[in-house]
Amino acid sequence: DAGVIQSPRHEVTEMGQEVTLRCKPISGHDYLFWYRQTMMRGLELLIYFNNNVPIDDSGMPEDRFSAKMPNASFSTLKIQPSEPRDSAVYFCASSLEGRLAGRQETQYFGPGTRLLVL
Amino acid sequence: GQQVMQIPQYQHVQEGEDFTTYCNSSTTLSNIQWYKQRPGGHPVFLIQLVKSGEVKKQKRLTFQFGEAKKNSSLHITATQTTDVGTYFCAGHRRSNYQLIWGAGTKLIIKP
Protein backbone atom coordinates (compact mmCIF):
# COMPACT_ATOMS: atom_id res chain seq x y z
CA ASP A 1 0.00 0.00 0.00
CA ALA A 2 1.33 3.43 -0.92
CA GLY A 3 -0.02 5.04 2.23
CA VAL A 4 -1.65 8.45 2.32
CA ILE A 5 -0.53 10.55 -0.63
CA GLN A 6 -0.41 14.33 -0.53
CA SER A 7 0.45 16.84 -3.19
CA PRO A 8 2.19 19.11 -3.61
CA ARG A 9 4.89 18.39 -1.04
CA HIS A 10 5.99 22.02 -1.03
CA GLU A 11 4.14 25.14 -2.09
CA VAL A 12 5.38 28.71 -2.15
CA THR A 13 2.87 31.34 -3.14
CA GLU A 14 2.16 35.00 -2.76
CA MET A 15 -0.41 36.54 -0.49
CA GLY A 16 -3.81 36.67 -2.11
CA GLN A 17 -3.30 33.64 -4.33
CA GLU A 18 -5.49 30.56 -4.18
CA VAL A 19 -3.87 27.41 -2.82
CA THR A 20 -5.21 23.89 -3.32
CA LEU A 21 -3.83 20.97 -1.36
CA ARG A 22 -4.66 17.43 -2.38
CA CYS A 23 -4.94 14.14 -0.55
CA LYS A 24 -5.50 10.52 -1.51
CA PRO A 25 -6.33 8.42 1.57
CA ILE A 26 -5.49 4.78 2.04
CA SER A 27 -7.90 2.66 0.03
CA GLY A 28 -10.79 1.40 2.13
CA HIS A 29 -10.40 3.91 4.93
CA ASP A 30 -13.62 5.49 6.14
CA TYR A 31 -12.26 8.64 7.76
CA LEU A 32 -10.17 11.47 6.37
CA PHE A 33 -8.66 14.27 8.44
CA TRP A 34 -6.99 17.55 7.59
CA TYR A 35 -4.52 18.96 10.14
CA ARG A 36 -2.38 22.07 10.27
CA GLN A 37 0.90 22.16 12.20
CA THR A 38 2.84 25.26 13.23
CA MET A 39 5.44 25.94 15.88
CA MET A 40 3.11 28.31 17.68
CA ARG A 41 -0.11 26.30 17.67
CA GLY A 42 1.10 22.73 17.31
CA LEU A 43 -1.07 20.14 15.56
CA GLU A 44 -4.61 21.40 14.91
CA LEU A 45 -7.49 19.41 13.47
CA LEU A 46 -9.16 21.48 10.77
CA ILE A 47 -11.90 19.18 9.50
CA TYR A 48 -12.69 15.51 9.15
CA PHE A 49 -14.87 13.42 6.88
CA ASN A 50 -16.59 10.09 7.41
CA ASN A 51 -17.59 8.25 4.23
CA ASN A 52 -16.98 11.45 2.24
CA VAL A 53 -19.31 13.53 4.43
CA PRO A 54 -17.86 16.41 6.50
CA ILE A 55 -18.51 15.65 10.15
CA ASP A 56 -16.79 18.42 12.07
CA ASP A 57 -15.34 21.56 10.50
CA SER A 58 -15.14 23.57 13.72
CA GLY A 59 -11.36 23.73 13.38
CA MET A 60 -11.44 25.51 10.04
CA PRO A 61 -9.98 28.92 10.87
CA GLU A 62 -12.19 31.08 8.69
CA ASP A 63 -14.20 31.28 5.50
CA ARG A 64 -11.05 31.46 3.43
CA PHE A 65 -10.61 27.76 4.09
CA SER A 66 -12.76 25.10 2.45
CA ALA A 67 -12.48 21.33 2.11
CA LYS A 68 -14.19 18.84 -0.14
CA MET A 69 -14.23 15.10 -0.55
CA PRO A 70 -15.96 14.34 -3.84
CA ASN A 71 -15.24 10.60 -3.58
CA ALA A 72 -13.63 8.04 -1.30
CA SER A 73 -10.20 8.40 -2.85
CA PHE A 74 -9.72 12.14 -3.06
CA SER A 75 -9.96 15.25 -0.93
CA THR A 76 -8.91 18.88 -1.33
CA LEU A 77 -8.22 21.69 1.08
CA LYS A 78 -8.45 25.11 -0.50
CA ILE A 79 -7.32 28.47 0.84
CA GLN A 80 -8.61 31.51 -1.01
CA PRO A 81 -7.19 34.09 -0.64
CA SER A 82 -4.05 32.92 1.12
CA GLU A 83 -2.31 35.00 3.78
CA PRO A 84 1.20 34.79 5.30
CA ARG A 85 -0.26 33.50 8.58
CA ASP A 86 -1.49 30.42 6.70
CA SER A 87 2.12 29.29 6.33
CA ALA A 88 2.32 25.86 7.96
CA VAL A 89 2.60 22.16 7.29
CA TYR A 90 -0.76 20.68 6.30
CA PHE A 91 -1.24 16.99 6.96
CA CYS A 92 -3.89 14.68 5.65
CA ALA A 93 -4.59 11.47 7.58
CA SER A 94 -6.97 8.57 7.16
CA SER A 95 -8.29 5.78 9.34
CA LEU A 96 -10.69 2.88 9.40
CA GLU A 97 -13.98 2.73 11.23
CA GLY A 98 -13.41 1.12 14.61
CA ARG A 99 -14.97 -2.12 15.77
CA LEU A 100 -17.43 -0.05 17.78
CA ALA A 101 -19.63 2.00 15.46
CA GLY A 102 -18.42 5.60 15.38
CA ARG A 103 -14.99 4.82 16.80
CA GLN A 104 -11.90 5.80 14.88
CA GLU A 105 -8.84 3.62 14.86
CA THR A 106 -5.19 4.42 14.15
CA GLN A 107 -4.64 7.46 11.98
CA TYR A 108 -2.19 7.17 9.11
CA PHE A 109 -0.63 10.45 8.12
CA GLY A 110 0.59 11.59 4.75
CA PRO A 111 3.98 13.28 4.35
CA GLY A 112 2.41 16.74 4.53
CA THR A 113 2.41 19.82 2.34
CA ARG A 114 4.76 22.58 3.47
CA LEU A 115 3.07 25.85 2.55
CA LEU A 116 4.82 29.19 2.57
CA VAL A 117 2.78 32.29 1.79
CA LEU A 118 4.91 35.33 1.10
CA GLY B 1 -9.43 24.45 23.74
CA GLN B 2 -6.91 21.81 24.64
CA GLN B 3 -8.56 18.99 26.58
CA VAL B 4 -5.62 16.64 26.77
CA MET B 5 -2.69 18.27 28.52
CA GLN B 6 0.75 16.93 27.72
CA ILE B 7 3.91 17.82 29.62
CA PRO B 8 6.65 18.76 29.37
CA GLN B 9 6.71 20.71 26.12
CA TYR B 10 10.43 19.99 25.68
CA GLN B 11 12.89 17.67 27.36
CA HIS B 12 16.63 17.86 26.86
CA VAL B 13 18.52 14.72 27.84
CA GLN B 14 21.99 13.33 27.47
CA GLU B 15 22.14 10.24 25.31
CA GLY B 16 21.65 7.27 27.61
CA GLU B 17 19.41 9.12 30.05
CA ASP B 18 15.73 8.33 30.45
CA PHE B 19 12.82 10.36 29.08
CA THR B 20 9.21 10.58 30.20
CA THR B 21 6.19 12.43 28.86
CA TYR B 22 2.80 12.64 30.56
CA CYS B 23 -0.74 13.18 29.33
CA ASN B 24 -3.71 14.17 31.43
CA SER B 25 -7.33 14.44 30.37
CA SER B 26 -10.09 16.30 32.16
CA THR B 27 -12.51 13.56 31.16
CA THR B 28 -12.37 9.78 31.03
CA LEU B 29 -10.89 8.42 27.83
CA SER B 30 -12.03 5.27 26.08
CA ASN B 31 -8.52 4.70 24.77
CA ILE B 32 -5.26 6.53 24.23
CA GLN B 33 -2.85 6.39 21.32
CA TRP B 34 0.77 7.47 21.08
CA TYR B 35 2.46 8.83 17.97
CA LYS B 36 6.03 9.84 17.15
CA GLN B 37 7.00 12.57 14.72
CA ARG B 38 10.62 12.73 13.60
CA PRO B 39 12.02 16.17 12.69
CA GLY B 40 10.69 17.10 9.26
CA GLY B 41 8.43 14.06 9.21
CA HIS B 42 4.85 13.19 9.94
CA PRO B 43 3.22 11.59 13.01
CA VAL B 44 3.52 7.82 13.03
CA PHE B 45 1.39 5.56 15.21
CA LEU B 46 3.26 3.77 17.99
CA ILE B 47 0.67 2.06 20.16
CA GLN B 48 -2.88 2.08 21.54
CA LEU B 49 -3.90 1.44 25.15
CA VAL B 50 -7.47 0.53 25.94
CA LYS B 51 -7.73 -1.09 29.38
CA SER B 52 -7.60 0.62 32.75
CA GLY B 53 -4.11 0.28 34.23
CA GLU B 54 -2.72 -1.20 31.03
CA VAL B 55 1.05 -1.28 30.53
CA LYS B 56 2.67 -2.10 27.21
CA LYS B 57 6.31 -2.25 26.22
CA GLN B 58 8.08 -1.82 22.92
CA LYS B 59 11.78 -2.48 23.50
CA ARG B 60 12.97 0.55 25.49
CA LEU B 61 9.55 2.27 25.42
CA THR B 62 7.00 1.70 28.19
CA PHE B 63 3.45 2.98 27.87
CA GLN B 64 0.97 3.21 30.74
CA PHE B 65 -2.72 4.01 30.93
CA GLY B 66 -4.01 5.17 34.31
CA GLU B 67 -6.51 3.29 36.43
CA ALA B 68 -9.08 6.05 35.96
CA LYS B 69 -8.33 6.20 32.21
CA LYS B 70 -7.61 9.92 32.48
CA ASN B 71 -3.84 9.88 32.24
CA SER B 72 -1.07 8.15 30.38
CA SER B 73 2.68 8.18 30.19
CA LEU B 74 5.46 7.17 27.84
CA HIS B 75 8.84 6.33 29.29
CA ILE B 76 11.96 5.74 27.22
CA THR B 77 14.88 4.02 28.92
CA ALA B 78 18.42 4.89 27.89
CA THR B 79 17.61 7.27 25.06
CA GLN B 80 19.38 6.98 21.73
CA THR B 81 19.75 9.50 18.92
CA THR B 82 17.11 7.60 16.97
CA ASP B 83 14.57 8.53 19.66
CA VAL B 84 14.76 12.22 18.78
CA GLY B 85 11.41 13.68 17.77
CA THR B 86 8.08 14.82 19.15
CA TYR B 87 5.84 12.37 20.97
CA PHE B 88 2.10 12.95 20.90
CA CYS B 89 -0.67 11.35 22.88
CA ALA B 90 -4.20 11.32 21.48
CA GLY B 91 -7.31 9.99 23.15
CA HIS B 92 -10.90 9.15 22.44
CA ARG B 93 -13.33 10.51 24.97
CA ARG B 94 -16.05 8.16 26.15
CA SER B 95 -18.75 10.70 25.41
CA ASN B 96 -17.44 11.57 21.98
CA TYR B 97 -15.65 9.44 19.47
CA GLN B 98 -13.42 12.26 18.20
CA LEU B 99 -9.66 11.88 18.76
CA ILE B 100 -8.26 14.63 21.00
CA TRP B 101 -4.54 15.39 20.65
CA GLY B 102 -2.00 16.50 23.21
CA ALA B 103 0.42 19.28 22.28
CA GLY B 104 3.37 16.91 22.09
CA THR B 105 6.68 16.61 23.94
CA LYS B 106 9.84 17.23 22.00
CA LEU B 107 12.76 15.00 22.92
CA ILE B 108 16.12 16.66 22.31
CA ILE B 109 19.43 14.88 22.79
CA LYS B 110 22.14 17.19 24.11
CA PRO B 111 25.29 17.21 21.96
CB contact under 8 A, B92 and A107: no
- Strand B105-109 versus strand B10-13 pairing type: parallel
Nearest to A65 by CA among A118, A18, A11: A18
pLDDT for residue B30: 87
| Out of A48, A106, A109, closest to residue B42 by CB | A109
pLDDT for residue A102: 52
pLDDT for residue A69: 98
pLDDT for residue A61: 87
CB contact under 8 A, B99 and A108: no
Residue pLDDT, tens place only, B36-89 = 999 999 999 999 999 999 999 999 999 999 999 999 999 999 999 999 999 999
pLDDT for residue B103: 93
CB contact under 8 A, A91 and B48: no
pLDDT for residue B97: 62
More reliable by pLDDT, B9 or B93: B9
Q: Which residues of A50-59 are buried (b: 16+ CB within 10 A; e: fewer)?
A: beeeeeeeee
**Are B32 and B70 contacting, i.e. CB atoms less than 8 angstroms apart?**
no
pLDDT for residue A35: 96
- Dihedral pair phi/psi, residue A86, rounded to 5°: -85, -5
pLDDT for residue A89: 98
CB contact under 8 A, B42 and A91: yes
**Are A36 and A23 contacting, i.e. CB atoms less than 8 angstroms apart?**
no
Chain A residues with CB under 8 Å of B43 CB are: 43, 91, 93, 107, 109
Over range A60-78, report the average pLDDT: 95
What is d(CA A118, CA A86) in angstroms, rounded to the nearest whole number? 10
**B106 CB within 8 Å of a chain A CB:** no
| Out of A43, A48, A98, closest to residue B101 by CB | A43
**Are A22 and B64 contacting, i.e. CB atoms less than 8 angstroms apart?**
no
Residue A72 — very low, low, confident or very high, per pLDDT cuts 50/70/90?
very high
**B104 CB within 8 Å of a chain A CB:** yes
CB contact under 8 A, A109 and B92: no
Share of chain B above pLDDT 70, in %: 95
Residue pLDDT, tens place only, A3-49 = 999 999 999 999 999 999 999 999 999 899 999 999 888 899 999 99
pLDDT for residue A40: 87
Among A39, A43, A96, most B C-beta atoms within 10 A, so best to mutate, is A43
Over range B87-95, report the average pLDDT: 84
pLDDT value at B105 more than 60: yes
Residue pLDDT, tens place only, A87-97 = 999 999 999 87
Residue pLDDT, tens place only, A96-110 = 876 665 556 789 999
**B5 CB within 8 Å of a chain A CB:** no
